[in-house]
Each structure stands twice: as C-alpha cells, then as structure tokens.
Amino acid sequence: MNRRRFLVTTAGAALTATLLPATAFANGMVDYSPGLIQKHLAAGKTVFVDYAASWCSTCARQERVISALRQANPEYDRTMVFVRVDWDAYGGHEVTTSRKIPRRSTLLVLKGDQELGRIVAGTSEQQIKALLDTGLQAGS
C-alpha cells in the first residue's frame, strides 16, 4: 500500500469512528431546526433537548446513557419529543443564548414556558434517569 492510500484510508476510518456516535444518537432524536422546539412546546408536548457536539466525549457518554434508558423504558419516547441541538451549528444561536446554555453536553426538559430540569456535563445514569423521569411525569 502506498503512503497516500494509507493516509486516506486512515483518515476515513478516523472520521467514520468520530461520526458513528452522532449517527447512532440521531435514531429517535430530531435534529434541531429554528422554531422546532417552540412548535412542539406550543402543541403541549414535553421536550427533551440535548445540546451536543459530535466531537464531545461527555456528549457521547450522555448519548449512550440516554439511549440505554430509552430502550429500557419506551414510555420516554411516548411522552416526550427528543431534540438534538448541534452545538457547532447553534452554539451562538438564540435557541442556546435565550436559555443561557453554558456549554455543549447540556440536557434540558421543557414543558410549556417552563424549564423542568437541567443537567450540565453530567453523565451519571442516575442523574440522567431522574431528568428523563421528570419529563415522563410532565408528559403523562
């Protein structure tokens, strides 16, 4: 194998490994677009918002915990809308600044005009489950 082919293959493998967690998390998550969260809130839905970046290791850990909890309890998906806000695209956008989101790896539960709970950079299964359960109670 020549050097150029090796570099291209290695770079491609690294890029794929970096993007796979984001792709896996996108299953069951709706990618944010302007107005999406407000539309669901106006319709009376409970919204779980994940401010994440594909390169963030804390976000990846949160993703794994959230995915496992959602698989274990399908009620989460029946009672909440899950929205992923790409930090790289929307870190300085109104969807982030209006809620005073300090950093990527922030998780929120919203209902109506209220924030019911928030986790900043937390990866504990117990803590994330408690946030999901808050959304579950609000959505029931």
Domain with residue 134: its CATH number is 3.40.30.10
The answer to whether 61 touches 67, Cβ cutoff 8 Å, is no
pLDDT band with cut points at 50, 70 and 90 for residue 139:
confident
Sequence-ordered list of residues with C-beta below 8 angstroms from that of 53, at least 6 positions apart, any chain? 59, 86, 87, 88, 104
Give the model's pLDDT for residue 118.
98
Render pLDDT for 15-37 as a digit per residue (tens, 0 to 9).
Answer: 444 443 333 344 589 999 999 99
Number of domains the chain contains:
1
Whether 120 and 106 have beta carbons less than 8 Å apart is answered as: yes
Interval 32-75: pLDDT, tens:
999 999 999 999 999 999 999 999 999 999 999 999 999 999 99
pLDDT digits (tens, 9 = 90+) for 74-132: 999 999 999 999 999 999 999 999 999 999 999 999 999 999 999 999 999 999 999 99
Task: Write out the residue range of the structural domain in which residue 74 sits.
Answer: 3-139
Return the pLDDT at 28.
80
The whole-angstrom separation of Cα 133 and Cα 75 is: 10
